[in-house]
Amino acid sequence: MLDILVGFVAELRQLGLPVSVSEEVDAAEAMAQLPLEDRQAIKSALGATLVKSANHWRAFDTAFEVYFSIRGAQFLLDGEATPLGEQDGRAEPAPDGQHPEGFGGTETATAEEIAAMVIRALRDGDQLLLSAIARLAVARYAAMEPGRPVGGTYYLYRTLRHLDLEGALARLVAEARARASGELDDEHPGGAVLRGRRPGQLTALEERLLEDEYNTRIEQLKTEIEAEIRRRLVADRGAEALARSLRRPLPEDVDFMHATREELVAMRKAVQPLTRKLATRLARKRRHLRRGALDFRSTMRHSLSYGGVPVEPRFKHPNQAKPEIWVIADVSGSVASFARFTLHLVHAISSQFSRVRSFVFIDGIDEVTGIFERSETVAEAIQKVNLEADVVWADGHSDYGHALTVFYERFGDEIGQKASILLLGDARNNYHAAQAWVIRELRHRARRVFWLNPEPRAYWGSGDSIVEQYTQHCDAAYECRNLRQLEAFVEHLS
Amino acid sequence: MSGTAADGVARFSSLQAVREGLGSVGYLADDGLSSVVYLADRLAKPVLVEGPAGTGKTELAKATAGFLGSRLIRLQCYEGLDEAKALYEWNYKKQLLRIQVERRAEDAGGARAPGWESLEEDIFSEEFLLTRPLLEAIRATEPVVLLVDEVDRLEIETEALLLEVLSDYQVSIPELGTIRAKQIPLVFLTSNNTRELSEALKRRCLFLHLDYPSLERERAIVLAKVPGVSNELAEQVARVVRSLRTLDLKKHPSISETIDWARTLVLLGIESVDLETARATLNILLKYRSDIEVAAKELAVASGY
| CA A128/CA A103 separation, integer angstroms | 13
Cα→Cα distances A388→A336, A344, A347, A365, A402, Å: 17, 17, 16, 12, 20
Q: What is the pLDDT of residue B49?
A: 93
Q: How far is B107 from chain A (nearest CA, A)?
A: 27
Spatial CA neighbour of A359 closest among A293, A446, A421: A421
Could you say which residues from 16 to 55 on chain B have a Cβ atom under 8 Å away from some Cβ of chain A?
31-33, 35-36, 38-39, 42-43, 45, 47-48, 50-51
- Asked if B15 lies within 8 A of A212 by C-beta distance, the reply is no
Our CA-based measurement puts residue A110 at a distance from the nearest CA of chain B, in whole angstroms, of: 26
Query: B32–A34: do the CB atoms touch at under 8 Å?
Result: no
Residues of chain A with C-beta less than 8 angstroms from the C-beta of B31: 40-41, 44
Contact status of B7 with chain A (Cβ, < 8 Å): no
> According to the model, what pLDDT value does residue A277 have?
67
Q: What is the DSSP letter of A77?
A: P
Q: Secondary structure of chain A: what % helix, strand, coil (to 5)? A: 60, 5, 35
From start to end of A341-408, where are the E strands?
356-361, 365-367
Chain B residue numbers touching A191 (CB-CB < 8 A): none
Contact A170 B305 (CB under 8 A): yes
Instruction: Please answer yes or no on whether B236 and A173 come within 8 Å at the CB atom.
Output: no
State residue B236's pLDDT score.
86
**Mean per-residue pLDDT for A369-383?**
77
Q: What is the pLDDT of residues A433-490, one digit of tens each?
A: 888 888 888 888 888 888 888 888 888 888 888 888 888 888 888 888 887 888 788 7
Confidence at residue A84, expressed as pLDDT on a 0 to 100 scale? 39
Return the pLDDT at B149.
92
pTM for the model? 0.72
User: Looking at the partner chain, which of A22, A196, A277 has a beta carbon nearest the beta carbon of B232?
Assistant: A196
Overall average pLDDT of the A9-19 stretch: 86
Q: Residue B48: what pLDDT?
A: 93
Which residue, A482, A152, A147, is CA-closest to A337?
A482
Contact B32 A47 (CB under 8 A): yes
Cα dihedral angle (B8, B12, B14, B17), rounded to 10 degrees?
170
pLDDT under 50: residue ranges of chain B: 1-7, 304-305
pLDDT (tens digit per residue) in A246-305 = 777 777 777 777 777 777 777 777 777 677 666 666 555 555 555 667 788 888 888 888
Is it the case that residue A331 has pLDDT exceeding 70? yes
Which of B195, B250, B303 is facing A276, going by the closest CB pair?
B195
Nearest to B76 by CA among B140, B139, B138, B147: B147
Which residues of B, range 108-147, sit inside 8 Å of A by Cβ? none
Contact flag A204-B301 (C-beta cutoff 8 Å): yes
Q: Which residues of chain B neighbour A208 with C-beta distances below 8 Å?
A: 243, 298-302
Structure confidence at residue B7 (pLDDT):
47
With CB atoms and an 8 Å threshold, state whether B232 touches A209. Answer: no
**Secondary structure, 3-state, chain B:** CCCCHHHCCCCCCCHHHHHHHHHHCCCCCCHHHHHHHHHHHHHCCCEEEECCCCCCHHHHHHHHHHHHCCEEEEEECCCCCCHHHHCEEECHHHHHHHHHHHHHHHHCCCCCCCCHHHHHHHHCCHHHEEECHHHHHHHCCCCEEEEEECHHHCCHHHHHHHHHHHHHCEEEECCCEEEECCCCCEEEEEECCCCCCCHHHHHHCEEEECCCCCHHHHHHHHHHHCCCCCHHHHHHHHHHHHHHHHCCCCCCCCHHHHHHHHHHHHHCCCCCCCHHHHHHHHHHHCCCHHHHHHHHHHHCCCCCC
A26 and B45 in contact by Cβ < 8 A? yes
Q: Do A169 and B38 touch (CB under 8 A)?
A: no
End-to-end CA distance of chain A: give it in Å, rounded: 45
Best CA proximity match to A364, nearest among A334, A335, A418, A402: A402
Q: Could B31 and A40 be called an inter-chain contact, meaning their C-beta atoms sit closer than 8 Å?
A: yes
Q: What residue of A is the nearest CA neighbor of B40?
A: A30
Across the interface, which of A195, A212, A379 has its CB nearest the CB of B246? A212
Q: How far apart are CA A44 and CA A30, in angstroms?
A: 10
Per-residue pLDDT of A113-163, as tens digits, reads 777 878 887 777 777 788 788 888 877 777 777 767 666 777 788 788 877
Q: Which of A56, A64, A177, A208 to mutate to test the interface with B (most CBs of B within 10 A)?
A: A208
- Most distant CA pair in chain A: distance in Å? 106
Measured between CB atoms, which of B38, B47, B275 is closest to A205?
B275
Tens-place pLDDT, residues A179-215 = 766 655 544 444 444 544 555 566 777 777 888 888 8
Which residue of B7, B35, B190, B219 is the best one to mutate when testing the A interface, meaning the one whose CB has the most A CBs within 10 A?
B35
Contacts of A44 in chain B (CB under 8 A): 31-33, 35-36
Mean pLDDT of chain A: 76
Pairing, β A419-424 against β A324-330: parallel
Question: Which pLDDT value is given to residue A188?
Answer: 46
Q: Chain B residues with CB inside 8 Å of A483's CB? A: none
Mutate to test the interface with B, among A212, A347, A483 (most CBs of B within 10 A): A212
Nearest-angstrom CA–CA distance, B91 and B76: 22
Smallest Cβ–Cβ distance between B305 and the set A57, A173, A197 belongs to: A173
For the ranges A65-69, A142-146, A207-211, A405-409, which has the lowest average pLDDT? A142-146
Contact criterion met (CB < 8 Å) for B305 and A211: yes
Which of A170-184, A235-249, A321-335 holds the top average pLDDT? A321-335
Pairs across A and B, CB distance < 8 A: 134
Count, residues in chain A: 494
CB contact under 8 A, B196 and A273: yes
Nearest to A205 among B205, B235, B300 (CB): B300
- Structurally, at CATH architecture level, domain A261-288+322-493 sits in 3-Layer(aba) Sandwich (3.40)
Contact B191, A52 (CB under 8 A): no
**Which one of A173, A205, A272 makes the best mutation probe of the B interface by having the most chain B beta carbons within 10 Å?**
A205
Residue of B nearest to A174 (CA): B305
Q: Is A478 helix (H, G, I), strand (E, B) or coil?
A: strand
**Nearest residue to A4 (alpha-carbon basis) of A211, A196, A234:** A234
Please indicate whether, in this complex, the C-beta atoms of A54 and B209 are within 8 angstroms of each other.
yes
Question: Which residues, numbered 241 to 280 in chain B, qualify as contacts with chain A under a Cβ-Cβ cut-off of 8 Å?
Answer: 242-243, 246, 248, 250, 272-275, 278
Interface pTM, i.e. ipTM: 0.82
> In whole angstroms, how far apart are CA A145 and each of A86, A223, A229, B242?
9, 21, 12, 39
Interface test mutation site (partner A, options B159, B195, B207, B275, max chain A beta carbons within 10 A): B207
List the domain boundaries for chain A: 2-67, 73-248, 261-288+322-493, 291-320
